[in-house]
Amino acid sequence: MNSFTRGAMAAAFGVIAASPALAHISYNGRDFGSFSGLSAASVTIANQAVTGNYGWADGTDADWGDSHAVRAFRFHLDNTAIVTIDVKANAGATATSIGGLLPAFSVYQGLAHVGAAQGSGGADYDTSLASNAYKATLPGGGAALEGLFKAVDDWKIGNNDLSIPLSMFTFKGYAADGTQINLGGVNPAVGGDGMKDGKVSGSFLLGAGDYSLFIGGADYASQLTVAHGAYGMSATLSVAAVPEPQTFALMLAGLGALAGLQRRRSRRG
């Protein structure tokens, strides 16, 4: 997004940006819980919304993205497991949300600062003292960055306590609705599922640990529009035990074939 557009959006949405609920990374009401990973389990969180339809896609370009435009969820695994995530647009998710979201998500190992880990600095956000200190170490002092969110790479962010380490998100995988057309084509390595239908799904083999899931919109061009509604969504996280080696090998082969098909569909789009 260019500087003129950023300025116009900032003026139009200054009140929203100042809202504590939107300005910091929080998992309030968005904790899927803890799973043993040894048995099947599934949890759905349906009453959520994300501001704008572009936040995830904007995190795929060279100036990264604003973490305010994606919504954070969390979960924990006691053991290695297969985790499947399904996200779909849900116009009635909240009293004020609308439909039309083209969902996309990324999975990371690691959590934002929560609870005692916050120290005296509160929750993480893009322009906190620690985040700004980190950006100052980047080329150009980070002046060209829209935020610290990276949709398909590791990233980090901090709060207002300079004495504690930045929160680190280690990228594990992603899934996006649609094709290179709605994704903006800004990162040729990033593709969609080939079907712009308001829903997206992905499965990942994840080890024991704490994880963050960031969900946002996959319509890159919509960041240029003035009106950014609260797009409703629902997310389901399903956990399954890792199967026996022979079965697991067949499953991986099937997932690889499906990923190849999705990439071909995305290129045709």
DSSP line for 178-227: S-HHHHTTS-TT----S--SSEEEEEEEE-SEEEEEEEEE--GGGGGSS-
Which pLDDT band holds residue 4 (cuts at 50, 70, 90)?
A: very low
User: Residue 43 is encoded by which pair of tokens?
Assistant: 């949890």
Percentage of the chain with pLDDT > 90? 78
Position 264 scores a pLDDT of 62
Which tens digits make up the pLDDT trace of 86-126? Answer: 999 999 999 999 999 999 999 999 999 999 899 999 999 99
d(CA 53, CA 184): 13
SS3 state of residue 251? helix
Per the prediction, the chain carries an average pLDDT of 88
d(CA 48, CA 105): 14
Long-range contacts of 259-265 (CB under 8 A, 24+ apart): 261/194, 262/191, 262/192, 262/193, 262/194, 263/191, 264/194, 265/179, 265/193, 265/194, 265/195
Nearest to 50 by CA among 190, 217, 213, 183: 217
Exposure letters 213-251 (e unless 16+ CB within 10 A, then b):
bbbbbbbbebbeeeebbbbbbbbbbbbbeeeeeeeeeeb
Which pLDDT band holds residue 261 (cuts at 50, 70, 90)?
A: low
Residues 6 or more apart in contact with residue 236 via CB below 8 angstroms: 42, 43, 44, 45, 85, 86, 87
Position 59 scores a pLDDT of 98
Position 262 scores a pLDDT of 58
Least confident of 18-22, 99-103, 221-225, 239-243: 18-22
Which pLDDT band holds residue 69 (cuts at 50, 70, 90)?
A: very high
Position 129 scores a pLDDT of 98
Position 21 scores a pLDDT of 38
- Answer whether 208's CB lies under 8 Å from 78's CB: yes
Percentage of the chain with pLDDT > 70? 81
Position 86 scores a pLDDT of 98
Q: Is 69 exposed, middle or buried (0-12, 13-18, 19+ CB in 10 A)?
A: buried
Position 83 scores a pLDDT of 98
Which tens digits make up the pLDDT trace of 5-32? Answer: 343 333 333 333 333 334 699 999 999 9
Which tens digits make up the pLDDT trace of 135-186? Answer: 999 999 999 999 999 999 999 999 999 999 999 999 999 999 999 999 999 9
Query: What's the gap between Cα 118 and its chain centre?
Result: 21
Which pLDDT band holds residue 225 (cuts at 50, 70, 90)?
A: confident
Which pLDDT band holds residue 226 (cuts at 50, 70, 90)?
A: low
Question: pTM score, two decimals?
Answer: 0.84
d(CA 94, CA 82): 30
Position 8 scores a pLDDT of 36
Position 242 scores a pLDDT of 97
User: Residue 5 is encoded by which pair of tokens?
Assistant: 């557009």
